Structure 1
Amino acid sequence: MARCTTFRDHIYNDSDIEPSFARSLQQFCPPRGHDDVLAPLDLRTPAQFDNSYYVNLVNYKGLLHSDQELFHGDSADPAIVRNYADEPAVFLDDFAKGMIKMGEIKPLTGSAGEIRKFCGKVN
């Protein structure tokens, strides 16, 4: 879910968004106010884990500006966005492999590690 304040500029000012999608979001996220109104990142299947995020991007229905930046429909776009949109099994397989790799990351402990008070700054 994302707050209206995080996608407002995208739905009112960007050109890389499908117009009817923008209008549907504008119905509950006005130009000012209602900052805490929520919208799902994936309007197609908000309660399901699938490749709809990528399908949405290819159809210019990315909720956040930063997400839609991954796909503009030109030759400079990463092929992976279209591939994940077209091939749900590839997306799910790559996701599973990525989760396994992340699970193999060993946290630093003792004098080799640090729990930071602020993520972007060494204590």
Structure 2
Amino acid sequence: MARADRLARIDADRIAYETEYRAALIAALETTAKGRWGLFGHQGKKGETSASVATVAALISLGETIDDLRATLGLEPFSLHAAFVAARGPVRSDAVGEPKQAQAWLDRLNQQKTETL
């Protein structure tokens, strides 16, 4: 029974962390959609600000914590975090800018939210 209780606590923590991650990512995306670059790292170090570096570091840390909890529970890695990490980094010069990319992410997240209701 102790193992089941421990796994239940880990799962509750995972759910709370995933909710926190989603809220933090949405807040960061909203800031980026308003014109603040750095979240996706399209311009490398040149586009970084202390705020964007801190935001990305917090998201990465929280995402890794979630993935560790998911591994303990035998679950797949956190797909939202994996998608965010994959979307980061330099892009071709003709790629959409970070504000448009952030807005597309927000639109997709809002659509997923309404589909699950």
Question: Shared topology, TM-score over 0.5?
Answer: no
**TM tier relative to shorter chain:** under 0.3
Larger radius of gyration: 1
TM-score norm. by structure 2 comes to: 0.26
Q: Which has the higher contact order (CA 8 A, sep 6+)?
A: 2
Bigger share in helix: 2
TM-score w.r.t. the length of structure 1 is 0.25
